Every structure is written in structure tokens, then in C-alpha cells.
Structure 1
Amino acid sequence: MIGFSFYLDQTLDDETLRYFKSMKNYGFSEVFTSAHIPEKDPQKYLQAFDKLITTVNSLNLKLVINIDKPSLHILHNRLNDADIVLRLDDSFSCDDIVALSKQTTVALNAGTIDDADITELKKSDIDFHTLEAWYNYYPHPDTGLDLTWLAQKNRWLHKLGFKTQAFVAGNKPYRGPLMEGLPTLERHRRTSPFISAVELDKLNTDGIVIGDSYLNIDLRKSFNAYFIDGYIPLHISDIKIGTPSYLFTKVFHNRKDPARDVIRLTESREMNHRNIGPTNNIERVFGSVTIDNRNYGNYMGEIQIVCRHLPASQNVNVLGTIIKSDLKLLSYIDSGSAFKITRIHNQF
């Protein structure tokens, strides 16, 4: 499950509506908002909320509302006809949670829920299928969560039956007032939103939401490739003449018995019908894409992606290099993982 954010102090105009439609077309199915309605002069926020409800309903999107008790009291009559999740702050009691869970899905704070909370919820005989666990995002630099801690918390929450959700930063301009990004993990504050999302997925986080207000079109495509179509998109540069065209037309898979030093494209040998002579037998750097030539006998035509520096070999031709911003993705290509290699735009 992937989602994006829209906040009530933003303008929901035609451009924003086009963005909503684009995100939906690329597989995003949830919209996150924070509905802390000021008690003085709430009308502006109520109008914005009504417009948001109408928009998400028209696009068949789920709305996730981060909410406190006073705002819920103001908004409760507006929530009847929408597909919503209420992400509750810490002001709600166990009795409140039980009552709300009978009406809609309720998301608790994944970062703060503990054994005592679980014991109290179990005593109330609540249906845990109506609950989710959402981590916070952290606007203040240096205050985001640690990766190891989140991995351990995910395991604990999953054993209890919770689905978990976390945030990654979006593209600049980041949301104010601090404008430092809105990630759950501190290590993701300056990392590509897509790489951050893949890492959270590998930590068995069930859903990822863009915390900031914008994600560019290239990243939307990457999210769609991975979370909807099921493969990691990689981009290659410095492509050499003689690179087979089929390298860019197929989703490949790493072998199920993965090598230490390289990613072996399982399907590549059977796709080769050429007698490949040695050429461009240069040092293989991290990210090099190579093909075995006829000097390797039956291995001729096997394409590999290099995961550590290897020396030049008269048996191996270098075809190009995975671009720098994609190199971290190579560590997430496991046994049998699917991926697709695409030329960057300035290549022939």
C-alpha cells in the first residue's frame, strides 16, 4: 500500500487535482492529512476538509486522518460517507479506541504503543483486525527513528496482528515550517524517497506514505514499478556499442542461488543468439553491467551487474554502468528478485 499527503493549509485547485489523479494512476491509493482544526475560526479548515473529502471520494481513494479529540468532535458528522482511517493521537483513551473501531479502521501510534496498551486493549475484547499501527514522521532533524529499532518494533507489531505504516520524505520544497523533510527514519531525511521506501518495504513495513506534499513524475514511475508491477527499476549510462537491445525490453530476475560478487540475469544466456567476441575488457567497477564473451564458453551471453570492484577479464565485456543514484538499490536485489534496466534519456 502506498500513499501521499495533502494538508488542509494547501490549496486544492485544478493543478492539485491533476496531481491527485496522477498519483492514483501510478498506484497510490491513500491520502494522508492532518486535521487539527483550530477552535477559533475553523471555517476555512472545514471548507478545505469538505473539498478534500469530495475529491478523495470522486477518485475512490482512502483518506487517512491524523486527528485529536477536539477536531474529531468538530468533524464527526463529515466522516460518514468516506473511506477513512482515523490515526489517533495520544489523547484518546482505550474506551475511545474501542468505540471508534466499531465504526471505522483506527490507526494507533506505532512508535509509542507498548505491552501495557496491548494488555488494556485485549481486556476490552477489541477486534484487532480493525486496528493499524502508524509511525510518526519527524520534521525536526536528528529526531527520526533508528532503523534497527523500527525493524524490531515492526516484528513485535506484526506478531500482534497489526499492519504497519511509515513515512518517507518527498521532493523539495519540503513542508514548512522547518522544511527539512518528513521521514519516519532519520537516515531517510536526505535519501531518495524511492530508495527509502524500498528499504522500509524490506523491513516488512506494510505501507509507505510520502510525508511531504509533492513527488516528481520520475519517482512516481519508480514507485509504480516496484510496488505495483513488482520489479526494481534500474537505469544505465555509458552504454557501449554492441549492447543487446533485449537488455532494455524485459524484466529480469537474479538467480535464486545468488552470487556474492555479481547479480546474474537468469534469463540472459538463453536470449543471446550471437557469437560475442572480446571487447571493452576493462576493470569492472561497482555497478558495471557486463556480458560474458565466447572466451567463457557455455557462459557466453550471461549478463551480470557487478556488486563489488572486480579486475578486467578477457572473458567479460563491459556494456555500461548503473547510474550512481541507483547503486544503493543493488543491495536490495535478493534471491529471485525482479528488476528492469532502462537507458537514461541521453543515451542512443
Structure 2
Amino acid sequence: MRRLGLSIYPNHSTIERDKQYIELGAKYGFSRLFTCLLSVDGDKEQIMHSFKETISFAKQCGMEVIADISPRIFKELNISYDDLSFFADLGTDGIRLDMGFTGREEAQMTYNPYDLTIELNMSNATKYIDNILAHKPNLDKLIGSHNFYPHRYSGLSYSFFEECSLKFKNANMRTAAFISSNDATFGPWPIMEGQPSLEEHRDLPIDVQAKHLFATGLIDDVIIGNAYASESELKKLSEINRNKLTFSIEVEEETTDLERTILFNEPHFYRGDVSDYLIRSTQSRVKYKAHNFPSHTTRDIRRGDVLIENNGYGQYKGELQIALKDMKNSGNTNVVGRIREEEIRLLEFLNPWQVFALSEM
């Protein structure tokens, strides 16, 4: 099951404010919580006091809690990789290794007696994961997540993201990546220019970022990296279909009621005999072959336009299409809507025979 997650940074906030955010997230179906021990200073007792109450509350709200750490934190807190009792006492469900060990240690950690999940840093293209797998870890307790990047222009390129993610998906491991709230104001570090994994997401609407990650098929869990996202952002994310690619469209004014029924109430799949120009969903032309599709809005076609063939196309009338290229309009095609500009790139992730849906902006 694909999940949504939040991030909190207790050393930059208050217990009460974090609880309010966690409760709001739980209301909208968020079930993962990321927190960070990398920027924490102080002894074990202070850290336990700051984090434990909030983590306990998150678990009461049904959230899985993962804490980000590094070998430096192990050393500073006098923790050994073969004794993870500190994190069990803290109440976490697992730890994320921002920087790894040699491979043997990570594998050994997956057999810890506290049933803690070990999450690996996915944002590297080395043989790191291969080395860990060679040491025969408990794969049921091993997952991965990408880094986030508060500094503008420092985020991952899509090609690098894809290369790294495939290493983990090919090993059948659960994966996660971060998106960025446009309303949040802080993270673990002083610099805050958004906090996504992918650089191209930095200024996009939050729901488009999530749709993109899910559409790649490479990411199982999407986590908001910065705090605090607004309630409207949480609501938008909760309404995303995490398993069916759904394009938000703006409907043309002259679109008929029947065409709206085809757009939003009929099932759609990408017909398998592929065209360079069109994604074709053809079942509506069969169901509505006896209906009238008068001509309207027959301007020339742009990539991202949503189309329904009118009476002029004979047996094709009623067929729904999405334009992949700019084209001349013969007058036999009604332009009934247009995909939200930020989502047009998602057409690259729709494959032949794949089911998809449309929703009105």
C-alpha cells in the first residue's frame, strides 16, 4: 500500500505544536512520520525527553515513526550498531541511516531484537545496496528513502533519481522520497528553500509533486520534508488516487453534459496500439455510438489537450483522446478540456493498457 508521511523537528518546535500537526495529518490519512536526530545536540536524557512524548503520540495516531541518524550520532550518543535499545526506548519503529557503515553492520542491524526497521539512504549510485545484500540482511526489515535538499538547485536530477531508485526496486525493497510544502517554514537546518528530493519539484504544487513520484512506479511512500504543511495541502494530498494516474483538467465552456459524463464518469485505459500523437480511450465510442456529438471548440490541438471526436468523424465519434503533440484540427475533433500545465509531464508515465482517470480542477 502506498502511503503519505509528515516530518517533524522537535528541537525546532514544541511538543504541543507537533502533536497538533500529527493529529491533523492522521485526520487526512497520513501514516508515516519522519524525524531527525542529525541536528540534535545534548545527552541521551535530553533527547529522550524532547522526542519520546511526541513519538508516542504519533504511534497512538497510527503512524510509523522513523528517525534519521548517522555514524556520528552513534558515536556522540555512545550507541553501538549491535545495540539499538536506545531507539527502541525512544519509541521509534525504525532508524534511517543518512550515512552508512560497511554493509556488514547494516545487515546485522536488520536482525535487531527490537524489530526495528532499518532504512537506507537511496540517493547514491554506488554499490552500497549490493554490498549490504551480499551480507544477507533480513529483507523484511530493510527499506530505503531518498534524501531531501533544502538548498535550491542542490536536489536530485530525475535521471539520477531513477538510476538510484531502480537499484532498490529491483531488490524488491520499499522506497520513499520527499516532497516540499510551499507553506512550510522550517526543517532540520537553518537554510530553507523548500525540501524536496527532486530539484524539479521545488516550486511545484504539492499534489503535483506527489502525483509525479507515484506515477514513476519507483516510490511507495511520499513524505512532506519540511514543516508545517497547511491543512489545504494535506487535504489535496489525501485526495490523490495513489494507484491510478489521475490528470486534473480544466474543462472547456462549450463541453456538453454527455462529454462531461465521458470525461469523469466512464473508465479509461490507454489503448495498446500506440500512436505518437494520441493516447486513445475507445470504449466510450462503443457505449455512446448512437448518441449525438455536435461540433464545438475545434481550434488547433496542443499537447495536453483532452479531445472527444464529434459527429464529423463517423464511427470514431465519442472516442476520448489526449494529445501528445501539437496538431492541426480537421474540425472533426472537439477540444473538451486541457490538462493542468504542471501535470502535462506526467503523460510520459502513462503506458499502453494502463488505466487512468480525469478530474476537474
TM range (shorter): 0.7 to 0.9
Please report how far the alpha carbon of residue 281 of structure 1 lies from its aligned counterpart in structure 2 after TM superposition: 2.1
Matched, 1:108 2:120: yes
Which sections of structure 2, spanning at least 5 residues, go unmatched?
A: none
- C-alpha distance in structure 2 between counterparts of 1:284 and 1:213, whole Å: 41
- C-alpha distance in structure 1 between counterparts of 2:170 and 2:322, whole Å: 37
Map of 1:58 onto structure 2: 60
Q: Is the partner of 1:208 in helix, strand or coil?
A: strand
Greater Cα offset, 221-230 or 272-281: 221-230
- Given that 2:204 and 2:342 are in contact with CA atoms closer than 8 Å, whether structure 1 keeps it comes out as no
- C-alpha distance in structure 2 between counterparts of 1:112 and 1:323, whole Å: 32
Q: Write the letter of the residue equivalent to 2:127.
A: D
Q: Is the partner of 1:205 in helix, strand or coil?
A: coil
How many percent identity over aligned positions?
24
Matched, 1:192 2:205: yes
Please report how far the alpha carbon of residue 216 of structure 1 lies from its aligned counterpart in structure 2 after TM superposition: 4.6
Correspondences of 1:72-83 after superposition (within 5 Å): 73=79, 76-77=85-86, 79-80=88-89, 82=91
Please report how far the alpha carbon of residue 227 of structure 1 lies from its aligned counterpart in structure 2 after TM superposition: 5.0
Match of 1:11 among 1, 11, 14: 14
Correspondences of 1:51-200 after superposition (within 5 Å): 51-67=53-69, 68-69=73-74, 70-71=76-77, 73=79, 76-77=85-86, 79-80=88-89, 82=91, 84-90=93-99, 96-101=105-110, 102=112, 103=114, 104-112=116-124, 114-115=126-127, 118-119=130-131, 122-123=134-135, 125-175=136-186, 177-200=190-213
- Given that 1:236 and 1:341 are in contact with CA atoms closer than 8 Å, whether structure 2 keeps it comes out as no
Matched, 1:230 2:244: yes
Match of 2:278 among 262, 265, 274: 262
Q: Normalised by the size of structure 2, how large is the TM-score? A: 0.80
- Given that 2:184 and 2:230 are in contact with CA atoms closer than 8 Å, whether structure 1 keeps it comes out as no
Q: Write the letter of the residue equivalent to 1:236.
A: E
Q: Is the partner of 1:149 in helix, strand or coil?
A: helix
Map of 1:28 onto structure 2: 30
Matched, 1:324 2:341: yes
- C-alpha distance in structure 1 between counterparts of 2:78 and 2:57, whole Å: 20
Please report how far the alpha carbon of residue 106 of structure 1 lies from its aligned counterpart in structure 2 after TM superposition: 0.7
- C-alpha distance in structure 1 between counterparts of 2:78 and 2:201, whole Å: 31
Q: Please list the CA deviations of residues 139-176 of structure 1 after superposition, one character each: whole Å capped at 9, or x if unmatched.
A: 22232223222222222334445433222222233425
Matched, 1:293 2:344: no
Greater Cα offset, 233-242 or 130-139: 233-242
- C-alpha distance in structure 1 between counterparts of 2:308 and 2:91, whole Å: 53
Greater Cα offset, 98-107 or 62-71: 98-107
Residue-pair matches, total: 341
- C-alpha distance in structure 2 between counterparts of 1:250 and 1:175, whole Å: 43
- C-alpha distance in structure 2 between counterparts of 1:239 and 1:166, whole Å: 38
- Given that 1:65 and 1:87 are in contact with CA atoms closer than 8 Å, whether structure 2 keeps it comes out as yes
Greater Cα offset, 98-107 or 225-234: 225-234
- Given that 2:19 and 2:54 are in contact with CA atoms closer than 8 Å, whether structure 1 keeps it comes out as no
- C-alpha distance in structure 2 between counterparts of 1:35 and 1:72, whole Å: 14
Q: Normalised by the size of structure 1, how large is the TM-score? A: 0.82
C-alpha spacing 1:263/1:145, structure 2 compared with 1 (3 Å): same
Which sections of structure 1, spanning at least 5 residues, go unmatched?
A: none
Please report how far the alpha carbon of residue 46 of structure 1 lies from its aligned counterpart in structure 2 after TM superposition: 3.8
- C-alpha distance in structure 2 between counterparts of 1:117 and 1:296, whole Å: 54
- C-alpha distance in structure 2 between counterparts of 1:322 and 1:150, whole Å: 25
C-alpha spacing 1:120/1:18, structure 2 compared with 1 (3 Å): closer
Q: Is the partner of 2:96 in helix, strand or coil?
A: strand
Q: Write the letter of the residue equivalent to 2:198.
A: L
- Given that 1:171 and 1:214 are in contact with CA atoms closer than 8 Å, whether structure 2 keeps it comes out as no
Q: Is the partner of 1:152 in helix, strand or coil?
A: helix
- Given that 1:243 and 1:319 are in contact with CA atoms closer than 8 Å, whether structure 2 keeps it comes out as no
Q: Write the letter of the residue equivalent to 1:191.
A: L
Please report how far the alpha carbon of residue 42 of structure 1 lies from its aligned counterpart in structure 2 after TM superposition: 6.5
Greater Cα offset, 214-223 or 180-189: 214-223
Q: Write the letter of the residue equivalent to 1:164.
A: T
Match of 1:204 among 218, 239, 260: 218
Q: Write the letter of the residue equivalent to 1:205.
A: I
Please report how far the alpha carbon of residue 302 of structure 1 lies from its aligned counterpart in structure 2 after TM superposition: 1.3
C-alpha spacing 1:327/1:22, structure 2 compared with 1 (3 Å): farther
Map of 2:41 onto structure 1: 38
Please report how far the alpha carbon of residue 72 of structure 1 lies from its aligned counterpart in structure 2 after TM superposition: 7.9
